[in-house]
Amino acid sequence: MNFVSLYRKLDSSNSTLDKIEALREHFLNADVEETALAMRLILGQLPPKKAKSAELKALALDQARIPEWLFAEAYSSTGDLAETMALINAVPDAPPFTGSVPEWIKTHLRGADEALSGLREAFSKWDSFSVMVLIKLLTGSLRVGVSRGILIKALAKAYEIPEANIAHVLMGNLKIDASFIGRLKMKDWADPLDFSSPYPFALASPIDGEIEDLGPITDWAIEWKWDGIRGQWIYRNEKVSLWSRGEELISDRFPEFATRSLKFESLVLDGEILAWKPGAKEPSAFALLQTRIARKKVTEADLKKAPARFIAYDCVEKDGVDLRELPFSERRKILEELMPELTASIPAFGISEIQNEESWTSAKASRAGSREKRVEGFILKRKSSPYFHGRKKGDWWKWKIDTMSLDAVMVYAQSGHGKRSNLFTDYTFALRGADDELVPVAKAYSGLDQKEIMELDRWIRAHTKERFGPVRSVEPIQVFELGFEGIADSPRHKSGIALRFPRILRWRRDKPVSEIDRLDAIRELYLKPDIEPVSREELPLFKSANLDV
């Protein structure tokens, strides 16, 4: 029982039940190294790759004795490089690889030569599925189609540990090795957490019915839905760690949130990281914050150009006590009480104000002004709600404003990858430019149902103008309404703008291409000039960030 056999089982079924069962069986029966490897790979902790894909591909082509163009055709039908390399070299009736995958990695991920010799051996010995998995390991492209939720369920079942405990153990910078698995199996919880570990985030669900169905507005705390990065700020052992919602440790990127001298034994806050210029009434566009995320090392210049604030939502731990079971209203009281001391030590901290609304009608009116405030609408939290883990429906809701949208015409199409290989599912859309030319503005993947995808795929094949490798240009006929979450100036793009999270809202078969939007009109409608920063002197709250971390 090795990782290849597990991957085959996970891959052969789309049923969640099957996946949980396959994992449970593996966690119970495979040896600890195979178990640790499976967990690491599921969590995306890939071994560093040592060979270039191009070298492996050259070997695959040579071994299969097929020409380059045929490989390109084969690749376009699978959408997966490792799969293509394995399939074209399939040996009839070859057995699966049943050896130890951790051992194989140790031997063949040492260097480029070891990788090539490993692959050469694999081609001649094992079935194409095994070979594909090994290539994916060599190229660092292995993705296991198992969500964290499924992993947690399977671990909970295999080792008879409550899911919430597993969820907590899996947060943070986890070293998953044989001894970790040993501790899981022994249910050894004496010291399960390193002191920087965050709690699993509580997530809000998009509101799906009428807002009035939520009952009396007095049951709810209403806050703006800030458009930044959700984060957990942790102060333990006189040390600060900052985690993003994507479970990345980003403390070093935001030195303005550091401190060493709080009187609390520990403190864990949930909040939003926003780019916010001193003195500004509202945060800067998300694009400015992105300049901070992109950099591993921040310079003084970065801090000046894109200063950040942490707007606190919730307090989930204080003085070593886990507060998650308390109702929101009580946690909020605790948060409000500790804010003065916190902001005295860290000026970049703030609190997400509760909005006082008398009725849903007045809330609707306030929400309509969201865009001017650079927020995405409201977050509604039931005052009695605990800080739950994951996306549990009913207690926290996102009540977002309608997204921005534009009508654009499809100009390029490309086949998708993985699940959507060999169908055209990646589309590029264009608007009308100043000289009536078509200017590509966005790529979008999702938003159509399977039937529409198939129909559009056939249309694309029949209306291809030119092929550029995997990309086809198509006649500009099909008009789509695209939604997006934000827009920013972008000198890197020909159109001069970059859209955030563009996606297809509707296929506008009713619209001819003559009715698509003009680039300049879209700029005017949505692109708001960023707020000019005021001088530091004018800002009492934002004196100087503590930079000597």
Partner 1 sequence: MPEEAKPNQSELVVLAKDGLYCEAGGFYIDPWGSVETGIITHGHGDHAHIGSQHYYASRSSLGILKTRMGEETPITTLAYGKVIRLGETEVSLHPAGHILGSAQVRIAHAGQVWVVSGDYKRDPDPTCAPFEVVECDTFVTEATFASPVYHWPPIENVVREIHDWWMQNRARGQNSILCAYSLGKVQRVLAELMRFTNEPVHLHGSATRLVQVYRDEGVSMAPTIPVSELDKKEKLKGALIIAPPSASGSTWTRRFEPYEVGFASGWMQIRGNRRRKAYDRGFIVSDHADWPSLLRTIEETKAKRIIATHGSSDILARYVREEMGKEGITFETQFGEEDE
Distance CA 14, CA 12 (A): 7
Report which residue type is found at 233: W
Nearer Cβ to partner 1, position 72 or 344?
Answer: 72
5-13, 51-59, 133-141, 476-484 -> range binding partner 1 (CB under 8 A): 5-13
86-94, 187-195, 213-221, 400-408 -> range binding partner 1 (CB under 8 A): 86-94
90 binds partner 1, rule: CB under 8 A = yes
Q: Reply yes or no on whether 263 is catalytic.
A: no
Distance CA 21, CA 46 (A): 23
Q: Rounded to the nearest whole angstrom, what is the least distance from the CB of residue 144 to partner 1 in the complex? A: 12
Nearer Cβ to partner 1, position 84 or 196?
Answer: 84
Q: Which residues, in sequence order, are bridge partners of residue 299?
A: none
Determine how β-strand 308-318 pairs with β-strand 349-351: parallel
Among 9, 417, 463, 500, contact with partner 1 (rule: CB under 8 A): 417
76-84, 118-126, 302-310, 472-480 -> range binding partner 1 (CB under 8 A): 76-84
The DSSP symbol for 401 reads P
Among 80, 223, 314, 517, contact with partner 1 (rule: CB under 8 A): 80
Q: Rounded to the nearest whole angstrom, what is the least distance from the CB of residue 120 to partner 1 in the complex? A: 19
Q: Kindly state the greatest CA–CA separation across the chain.
A: 77
Nearer Cβ to partner 1, position 18 or 219?
Answer: 18
Distance CA 465, CA 48 (A): 41
Nearer Cβ to partner 1, position 71 or 199?
Answer: 71
Q: Rounded to the nearest whole angstrom, what is the least distance from the CB of residue 201 to partner 1 in the complex? A: 27
Nearer Cβ to partner 1, position 23 or 250?
Answer: 23
59-67, 118-126, 326-334, 363-371 -> range binding partner 1 (CB under 8 A): 59-67
Angle, in degrees to the nearest 10, between helices 112-125 and 53-64: 30
89-97, 112-120, 230-238, 488-496 -> range binding partner 1 (CB under 8 A): 89-97
Structure tokens given for 38: 């499976």
Q: Which residues, in sequence order, are bridge partners of residue 431?
A: 439
419 binds partner 1, rule: CB under 8 A = yes
Residues in Cβ contact with 14 at an 8 Å cutoff, skipping those fewer than 6 apart: none
Q: Rounded to the nearest whole angstrom, what is the least distance from the CB of residue 419 to partner 1 in the complex? A: 5
Helical residues (DSSP H) of 206-296, grouped into ranges: 286-293
Phi, psi (rounded to 5 degrees) for 46:
-85, 145
Residues in Cβ contact with 95 at an 8 Å cutoff, skipping those fewer than 6 apart: 125, 126, 127
Nearer Cβ to partner 1, position 61 or 161?
Answer: 61
Q: Rounded to the nearest whole angstrom, what is the least distance from the CB of residue 467 to partner 1 in the complex? A: 12
Looking only at residues 444 through 473 of this chain, which bind partner 1 when binding is defined by CB under 8 A?
A: 450
The DSSP symbol for 477 reads T
Looking only at residues 145 through 164 of this chain, which bind partner 1 when binding is defined by CB under 8 A?
A: 145
Q: Rounded to the nearest whole angstrom, what is the least distance from the CB of residue 117 to partner 1 in the complex? A: 24
To which residue do tokens 């997400």 refer?
A: 352
28-36, 60-68, 389-397, 499-507 -> range binding partner 1 (CB under 8 A): 60-68
Among 29, 58, 73, 336, contact with partner 1 (rule: CB under 8 A): 73
Among 45, 52, 70, 452, contact with partner 1 (rule: CB under 8 A): 70
Q: Rounded to the nearest whole angstrom, what is the least distance from the CB of residue 67 to partner 1 in the complex? A: 7
Question: x/- string (CB under 8 A) for partner 1, residues 128-147?
Answer: ----x------------x--
Instruction: State whether residue 160 is helix, strand or coil.
Output: coil
108-116, 229-237, 238-246, 419-427 -> range binding partner 1 (CB under 8 A): 419-427
24 binds partner 1, rule: CB under 8 A = no
Looking only at residues 91 through 120 of this chain, which bind partner 1 when binding is defined by CB under 8 A?
A: 92-93
Nearer Cβ to partner 1, position 7 or 397?
Answer: 7
Structure tokens given for 133: 């998995």
Number of residues that bind partner 1 (CB under 8 A): 35
Among 87, 184, 273, 479, contact with partner 1 (rule: CB under 8 A): 87
- Three-state secondary structure along 17-62? HHHHHHHHHHHHHCCHHHHHHHHHHHCCCCCCCCCCHHHHHHHHHH
Helical residues (DSSP H) of 79-203, grouped into ranges: 81-88, 101-108, 112-125, 128-139, 148-159, 163-169, 178-186
Nearer Cβ to partner 1, position 32 or 453?
Answer: 453
DSSP string, 382-394: ETT----SB--TT
Task: Tabulate helix, strand, coil % of the chain (nearest 5).
Answer: 40, 20, 40
Phi, psi (rounded to 5 degrees) for 435:
-100, 30
205 binds partner 1, rule: CB under 8 A = no
Q: Which of 19, 57, 153, 225 is catalytic?
A: 225
CA nearest neighbour of 34 among 91, 102, 98, 90? 102
487, exposed or middle or buried, with CB in 10 Å at 0-12, 13-18, 19+?
Answer: buried
14 binds partner 1, rule: CB under 8 A = yes
Residue 432 contacts residue 516 (beta carbons within 8 Å): yes
Distance CA 526, CA 339 (A): 35
Q: Rounded to the nearest whole angstrom, what is the least distance from the CB of residue 422 to partner 1 in the complex? A: 6
Among 422, 455, 458, 520, contact with partner 1 (rule: CB under 8 A): 422
CB neighbourhood size of 445 (10 A): 15
Distance CA 149, CA 172 (A): 16
Among 54, 69, 296, 435, contact with partner 1 (rule: CB under 8 A): 69
The residues assigned a catalytic role are 225
Residues that bind partner 1 (CB under 8 A): 11-15, 17-18, 64, 66-67, 69-70, 73-74, 77-80, 83-84, 87-88, 90, 92-93, 132, 145, 416-422, 450
